[in-house]
């Protein structure tokens, strides 16, 4: 049986064309659009100002695909991880990270991931499909509601650092950001400067971001400023070497004027020596930037482990001595597998193991 297409993937223009074709006034399209994107309805019957015969037509031609919440876990540090069940049964995860100054939503852009980074649990999952812009947007709405319910705060930041590689779902990621920054959309209206998209480093897509003059922040999962080491933990580095990434980053900065952030997970006896810090400092010279040094979160079945705190301190000190802005990120939500690199829904993992 072929199901009706998801109306959340249909443009306002096409909804208007449908409404007019069904002999209704064009303004009904705007009403329908507001019910979908401002009020987040799950059925056409909830659109109380839409004529019943048009509701019948909508039901005949379209569906509304919203996810359901499969499971919610709360960490002892206040972090909340949510497993969202999509309309086709796949599972994704999103995380609310509260601190004294911020409430951040960490959201997913794909079901699974094809990057196979050795330090990341999601990289062990098969990439099943890209998320629609509406599925990305709905994660933000749900996590925003959690922030209000649990902490009485609005979301202050959004990071595309959950499951998947955002730049391999380019169109839907950008469309979701367009909706998130729309002031009429479910009360979000977030500034793009409070949104960060993190990529493992796909040079041509970084250049495309520059050409599209994006206003949000860009973070690069670097983790080594040495091609040999980086290729060990990030296989795509074989096709996107540091030299090509440098070229793309310079291009991005020249086009947008934005400062890039380098994410650097520090691993014991792998990338934690002063020589590694010196290589990173040299890489940082190409454009204005800042560095997030991140504590590694073990995921099992890997040779990687957390670096010694003293080595981390020495590493950070060297960077700071080169006038580089450095933030040390401590793990949040580790006890519920919600920390950086740990998102791999257990249900999804077992589901995909049977494929």
**One of 117, 120, 284, 340 is an active-site residue; which one?**
340
- The secondary structure of 11-36 as a DSSP string is -HHHHHHHHHHTT--THHHHHHHHHH
d(Cα 340, Cα 197) in Å, to the nearest integer?
A: 14
Question: For this structure, is 340 an active site residue?
Answer: yes
H/E run at residue 309: helix 309-321
Terminal-to-terminal C-alpha distance of the chain: 22
d(Cα 29, Cα 17) in Å, to the nearest integer?
A: 8
Residue among 205, 137, 206, 217 nearest 175 (CA): 137
**One of 57, 93, 165, 175 is an active-site residue; which one?**
93
**Residue whose pair of structure tokens reads 């994107």 in the numeric block:** 37
Proportion of the chain in helix, strand, coil states, percent, rounded to 5: 40, 20, 40
CA distances from 281 to 55, 91, 316 (A): 60, 39, 10
Residue 329 bridge partners (DSSP) = 294
Residue among 176, 263, 270, 268 nearest 216 (CA): 176
Q: Which long-range contacts (CB under 8 A, 24 or more apart) does 123-130 make?
A: 124/344, 124/349, 125/163, 125/344, 125/348, 125/349, 125/352, 126/352, 126/355, 127/164, 128/90, 128/352, 129/90, 130/164, 130/168, 130/169, 130/172
CA distances from 206 to 8, 38, 83, 112 (A): 27, 31, 29, 21
Q: Helix or strand or coil: residue 253?
A: helix
Q: What is the DSSP letter of 186?
A: T
Q: Is the dihedral of CA 206, 208, 213, 215 positive or negative?
A: negative
- Residues annotated as catalytic are 93, 340
């Amino acid at each position: 049986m072929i199901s009706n297409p998801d109306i959340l993937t249909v443009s306002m223009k096409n909804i208007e064309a449908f409404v007019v074709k069904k002999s209704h006034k064009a303004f009904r399209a705007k009403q329908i659009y507001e019910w979908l994107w401002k009020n987040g309805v799950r059925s056409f019957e909830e659109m109380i100002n839409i004529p019943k015969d048009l509701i019948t037509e909508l039901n005949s031609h379209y569906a509304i695909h919203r996810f359901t919440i499969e499971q919610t876990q709360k960490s002892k540090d206040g972090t909340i991880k949510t497993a969202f069940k999509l309309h086709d049964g796949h599972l994704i995860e999103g995380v609310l990270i509260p601190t004294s100054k911020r409430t951040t939503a960490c959201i997913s852009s794909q079901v699974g991931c094809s990057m196979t980074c050795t330090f990341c649990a999601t990289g062990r999952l098969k990439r099943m499909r890209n998320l629609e812009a509406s599925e990305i947007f709905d994660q933000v709405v749900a996590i925003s509601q959690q922030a209000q319910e649990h902490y009485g705060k609005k979301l202050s930041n959004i990071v595309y650092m959950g499951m998947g590689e955002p730049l391999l779902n380019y169109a839907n990621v950008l469309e979701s950001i367009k909706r998130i920054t729309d002031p009429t959309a479910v009360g979000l209206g977030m500034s793009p400067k409070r949104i960060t998209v993190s990529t493992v480093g796909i040079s041509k897509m970084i250049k495309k971001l520059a050409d599209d003059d994006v206003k949000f922040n860009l973070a690069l999962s670097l983790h080594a400023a040495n091609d040999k080491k980086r290729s060990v933990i990030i296989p795509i580095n074989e096709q996107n070497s540091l030299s090509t990434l440098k070229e793309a980053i310079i291009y991005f900065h020249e086009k947008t004027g934005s400062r890039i952030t380098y994410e650097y997970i520090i691993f014991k006896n792998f990338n934690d020596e002063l020589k590694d810090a010196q290589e990173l400092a040299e890489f940082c010279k190409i454009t204005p930037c800042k560095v997030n040094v991140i504590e590694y979160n073990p995921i099992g079945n890997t040779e990687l482990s957390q670096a010694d705190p003293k080595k981390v301190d020495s590493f950070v000190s060297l960077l700071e001595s080169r006038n580089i802005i450095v933030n040390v990120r401590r793990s949040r939500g580790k006890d519920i597998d919600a920390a950086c690199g740990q998102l791999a829904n257990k249900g999804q993992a077992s589901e995909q193991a049977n494929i």
